[in-house]
């Protein structure tokens, strides 16, 4: 490499900044930096002078003013006299809610469709191809407004449930009501509840965390950990003696018994929705905008995930399957022990970037009136206060933080599977 550098010149000339390979990269970089700084300065200077001309200043004080609008789908308490910051916080929680729900359903749907596209059944494979092409080639916004229209137009309204001979009836033993205003599903109630922990006092970011939920999660993760330990023990036993002890009934017991005990201690029961007057009350209410967004986003993203899953499975060479069957593994075990672990390495990175896309696409909630962060901070708050610059900056910052955290997870995973590679 050292032979590439030019012989030392006698003296420094200005043209060497361009023509001498030792200085050229420096020159280009400094010019680029100066150009970028000048560009940024230009934009900032323009912004300041424009804002001065409009008589505005960059001021985030509007966040502590009362919002004055209502948010009807929310995870934590909110009233219209709460601040704009509180409204944005509710919106952020709603964004995260739709992202989590959507990713979960899109994964399930996508994996099923991707596997079925590889089915040896010609008809099933064709139907799934039609599904994928249909969803991939039509804009997601169209699917969202279409889903909303389906829900509003084709489902019964709550008043159809009234009277002696109602036009519509509740489903699943009178526990679920599907109406054009949204879905009413049973809610989990605890008669001997542990109560809540309250965070952040009286501030705009306050929220309650249910101790019951924490306890349930703790027991669940504890059980899963115990099951994994049991699996390891069985594995060690198999290595030592050649026989694998039967563990499935222990596994079942570990998973079910502690959870049942906890639920009994908490006094778990379901609260069913009931028709009162012109609407339902009780139960958990999922607004139709949430349902429409959830359905449309997850079905749209599922088409992409299906392609990723299909590609991942096809990427594993046929020799692997043949080697596994030569070893005498059954097809189901070949899939579980040979194909899937290798396919996962191909599937997971693009899968996570699909999760990212779904989260970003959830900003289209504004088209159906679901109050996510775009609908609150970038919608009503921005229009009411006229603080476009501050609102859009905050909105971008929130999405950037979400995206970068998902990217971090992806990088961490990539590093982890890289170690497994030779």
Partner 1 sequence: MSDTNAQSVRYVRDTILPQQPPPASAVGFIGWARANLFSSWFNSVLTVISLAFIFYVLSGVIPWVFQSVWNANSLSECREVMVATWGDTHGHACWGVIKERWLQLLFGFYPPELYWRPIVALGLLLVALAPVLYAEKVPSKLLIVTALYPFVMPWLLWGGTIWAPLMVMAGFGLGYMAYTILSTKIGSLGAIIAGVLVPIVWWLFLSGAVASALASVLPLALQSVESRQFGGFMLSTLIGVVAIGCSLPIGIFLALGRRSDLLILRALCVGFIEFIRGVPLITLLFVASTLLNIFMPPGTNFDIILRVIIMVTLFAAAYMAEVIRGGLAALPKGQYEGADSLGLNYWQSQRLIIMPQALKISIPGIVSTFIGVFKDTTLVSIIGLLDPLGLSNAIRADAAWNGIYWELFAYIAVLFFIVCFGMSRYSMSLEKRLRTDHR
Q: Which residues bind to partner 1, rule: CB under 8 A?
A: 18, 25, 28-30, 32-33, 36, 43, 46-47, 49-51, 53, 119-124, 127, 133-134, 136-142, 145-146, 149, 153, 360-361, 363-364, 366-367, 374, 378, 382, 388-389, 392, 395-396, 399-400, 403-404, 407
Nearer to partner 1, 120 or 241 (CB): 120
Give whole-number Cα distances, 332 to 119, 162, 184, 320, 363, in Å.
14, 50, 39, 14, 40
Q: Which of 134, 75, 78, 60 is nearest to 302 (CA)?
A: 134
Q: Are 140 and 296 spatial neighbours (Cβ–Cβ below 8 Å)?
A: yes
Residue 133 or 208 with smaller CB distance to partner 1: 133
CB of residue 388 to partner 1, shortest distance in Å? 4
Longest alpha-carbon distance in the chain: 104
Q: What DSSP letter does each residue of 140-176 carry, written as one string?
A: HHHHHHHHHHHHHHHSPPGGGG-SSS-SS--BTTTTB
The single residue listed with the structure tokens 């020799």 is 319
Q: Which is nearer to partner 1, 78 or 294 (CB)?
A: 294
Q: What's the CA gap between 106 and 296, in Å, rounded?
A: 10
Give me the numbers of helices (H) and strands (E) for the chain, helices first please: 14, 9
CB of 359 to partner 1, least distance (A): 8
For residue 123, the minimal CB distance to partner 1 (Å) is: 4
CB-wise, 151 or 254, nearer to partner 1? Answer: 151
Distance of alpha carbon 252 from alpha carbon 120, whole angstroms: 34
Place of tokens 């779904």: 358
Q: Between 50 and 414, whose beta carbon lies closer to partner 1?
A: 50
Nearer to partner 1, 343 or 367 (CB): 367
Q: Cβ 410 to partner 1, closest distance in Å?
A: 12
CB atoms under 10 Å from CB of 24, counted, come to 13
From the CB of 160, what's the least distance to partner 1, in Å? Answer: 16
Closest distance of CB 54 from partner 1, Å: 8
């Amino acid at each position: 490499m050292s032979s590439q550098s030019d012989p030392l010149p006698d003296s420094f000339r200005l043209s060497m900044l361009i023509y001498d390979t030792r200085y050229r990269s420096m020159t280009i970089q400094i010019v680029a930096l100066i150009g970028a700084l000048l560009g940024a300065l230009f934009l900032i200077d323009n912004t300041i002078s424009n804002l001065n001309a409009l008589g505005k200043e960059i001021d985030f004080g509007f966040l502590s003013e009362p919002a004055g609008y209502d948010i009807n789908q929310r995870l934590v308490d909110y009233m219209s006299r709460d601040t704009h910051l509180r409204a944005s916080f509710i919106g952020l929680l709603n964004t995260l809610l739709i992202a989590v729900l959507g990713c979960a359903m899109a994964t399930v749907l996508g994996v099923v469709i991707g596997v079925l596209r590889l089915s040896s059944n010609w008809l099933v494979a064709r139907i799934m191809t039609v599904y994928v092409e249909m969803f991939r080639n039509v804009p997601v916004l169209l699917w969202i407004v279409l889903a909303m229209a389906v829900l509003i137009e084709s489902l019964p309204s709550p008043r159809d449930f009234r009277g002696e001979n109602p036009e519509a009836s509740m489903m699943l033993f009178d526990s679920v009501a599907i109406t054009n205003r949204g879905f009413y599903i049973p809610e989990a109630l605890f008669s001997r509840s542990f109560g809540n922990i309250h965070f952040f006092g009286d501030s705009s970011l306050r929220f309650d965390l249910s101790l019951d939920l924490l306890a349930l999660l703790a027991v669940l993760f504890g059980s899963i950990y115990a099951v994994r330990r049991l699996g390891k023990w069985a594995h060690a036993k198999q290595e030592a003696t050649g026989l694998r002890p039967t563990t499935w009934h222990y596994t079942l017991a570990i998973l079910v018994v502690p959870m049942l005990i906890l639920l009994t201690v908490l006094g778990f029961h379901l609260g069913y929705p009931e028709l009162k007057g012109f609407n339902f009350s009780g139960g958990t209410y999922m607004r139709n905008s949430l349902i429409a967004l959830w359905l449309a986003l997850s079905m749209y993203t599922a088409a992409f995930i299906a392609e990723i899953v299909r590609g991942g499975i096809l990427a594993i060479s046929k020799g692997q399957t043949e080697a596994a069957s030569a070893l005498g593994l059954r097809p189901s075990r070949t899939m579980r022990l040979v194909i899937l672990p290798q396919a996962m390495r191909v599937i997971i990175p693009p899968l996570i970037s699909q999760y990212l896309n779904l989260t970003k696409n959830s900003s289209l909630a504004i088209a159906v009136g679901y109050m996510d962060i775009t609908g609150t901070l970038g919608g009503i708050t921005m229009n009411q206060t006229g603080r476009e610059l501050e609102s859009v900056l905050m909105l971008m910052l929130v999405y950037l933080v979400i995206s970068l955290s998902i990217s971090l997870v992806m990088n961490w995973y990539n590093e982890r599977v890289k170690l497994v590679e030779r």
